[in-house]
Structure 1
């Protein structure tokens, strides 16, 4: 899978902008804060995925798919 497949072609995509951001200007402390924030976002995203999978499994069981 190509990175463009994940990020899309939108130049204003916030994820693409985040990945392009220059980290050299950040201090160690700022980088640590950034990692904590990103780990929180990863956890939130994983919860959303789990919820979607569970919802789908419930719907499939209900309709005996």
Structure 2
């Protein structure tokens, strides 16, 4: 590995559901948990946004 490799941007941590976790350190596991928590919050926010839009559209057509 050369010094030039250290200057490259590091790949963003990703998590694949069902992947082998045995080789990860405690810090890596905690980082993945935080990554997944952030993603869950993003998914829930989008679901709420879409549900609100659907409810507004349904009420518009019911009037």
- More helix per residue: 1 or 2? 1
| Map of 2:61 onto structure 1 | 63
Cα RMSD (Å): 1.6
* Counterparts of residues 1-65 of structure 1 (less than 5 Å): 18-64=16-62
Deviation at 1:33, TM superposition (A): 0.4
SS at match of 1:63: helix
The alignment's TM-score, normalised by the length of structure 2, stands at 0.72
Higher relative contact order (CA 8 A, sep 6+): 2
The alignment's TM-score, normalised by the length of structure 1, stands at 0.70
Structure 2 residues without counterparts, runs of 5 or longer: 1-14
| Inter-partner Cα distance in structure 2 for 1:50 and 1:33 | 26
Deviation at 1:35, TM superposition (A): 0.3
What is the total number of aligned residue pairs between the two structures?
49
Deviation at 1:20, TM superposition (A): 2.2
| Inter-partner Cα distance in structure 2 for 1:20 and 1:47 | 24
Deviation at 1:41, TM superposition (A): 0.2
